[in-house]
Amino acid sequence: MDRPVTANAATARDIIVEIVRNMREGIEPLRFTALPPAIFDVYLHPDDMDRLRGILPRIAEEAARALDAEVEALNRDTLAERLKLTRRSEPKIAVPEGGWKIRVLENTDEGVEPGDIAIHSELALPAKPDFAGGSMTKRIATRRMGGAQSSAQTYEPAPASPEQPAYATLEYEDAGGRKTYRMTKDEIVIGRGGRDYWTDLKLDTLPDVSREHLRLRRDPATGAFYLKDLSRLGATIDGQPAPSSVEEVDGHKRDLNIETPLPPRARIGLAGVIFLDFRSASNG
């Protein structure tokens, strides 16, 4: 049965406008060029998702065209610049070499209403002196919630290079195929990710897997690994349920900081729908 369209339903045009706004918010000026975000994850209320599902490829296609047009407009010289009366003060924006990547996903967070649009985009930044010589990933979050717009930006270390030593590896298969993740820091977050949910290992899988499903921690002093389950549908270690570290009190979740020791080799299950083969580097 078709769901009724609410007065606040998000339209295809609304989504495209918000994608363009997110791109503008995320432009990073360098010395000679400016870089826009290239990867966009758009989160919609389930009602809006169901209603627009049949035209999502068309929305993504027209959003990419709108991004191209916006970049062209922002790069256009003013009349004074064309007449050589003034010099251009801002560097021109470079379109991503690999093109725009746009995905529209269902927003399963609590409190989301029809018409709400949340967008997370990413921009890989080259190494800069400001970042101590290391490359970074810039993440831009924009929202249109209840008609009000907001935005936020964060900078995160870019994924480790293959040459960087790994404390452990995780092999798994999600909707994107077979993959290997190298754990190069002492604590990582694993889950589906999404707006307001940072994950080191982002899984493309069913909503049964929580946005922030679990954390893996390495004790630098001993080299031992620990798992903390923060999910709704649980985690397993070699088929045995891991104790939950989350308690709900008066409708609010509280982290009890319960960790479970992880063997040097283990098969970690997330909600019974995806499995990670964990191997610590000390195990060879």
Please report the pLDDT score of residue 129 as a whole number. Answer: 45
Please report the pLDDT score of residue 5 as a whole number. Answer: 43
Q: Give me 46's structure tokens.
A: 């389930």
Out of 157, 189, 212, a domain closes at 157
**pLDDT of 13 over the 50 cut:** yes
In tens, the pLDDT along 171-189 reads 999 988 999 999 988 999 9
Q: What is the domain-level CATH number for residue 149?
A: 3.30.2320
Contact by Cβ (8 Å): 214, 235: yes
Q: With CA atoms as reference, report the closest residue to 217 among 226, 209, 208.
A: 226
In tens, the pLDDT along 198-250 reads 788 999 999 999 989 999 999 999 999 999 999 999 999 999 999 999 988 77
* Strand pairing category for 201-202 and 187-191: parallel
In tens, the pLDDT along 229-241 reads 999 999 999 999 9
The answer to whether position 107 is within a domain reads yes
CA–CA distance, 195 with 231 (Å, rounded to integer): 16
The answer to whether position 85 is within a domain reads yes
**pLDDT of 53 over the 60 cut:** yes
CB atoms within 10 A of CB 122: 16
Residues 189 and 85 in one domain: no
More confident site: 47 or 283: 47
If you average pLDDT over each of 17-31, 128-142, 145-159, which comes out highest? 17-31
Q: Which domain holds residue 74?
A: 12-157
Residues 135 and 240 in one domain: no
Average pLDDT (24-36) is 91
Out of 106, 134, 157, a domain closes at 157
Residue 48: which pLDDT band, with cuts at 50, 70 and 90? very high
Residue 157: which pLDDT band, with cuts at 50, 70 and 90? low
The answer to whether position 5 is within a domain reads no
**pLDDT of 18 over the 70 cut:** yes
In tens, the pLDDT along 115-138 reads 999 998 988 876 554 444 456 788
Residues 107 and 151 in one domain: yes
Q: What is the domain-level CATH number for residue 215?
A: 2.60.200.20
Please report the pLDDT score of residue 168 as a whole number. Answer: 96
**pLDDT of 85 over the 70 cut:** no
Contact by Cβ (8 Å): 195, 175: no
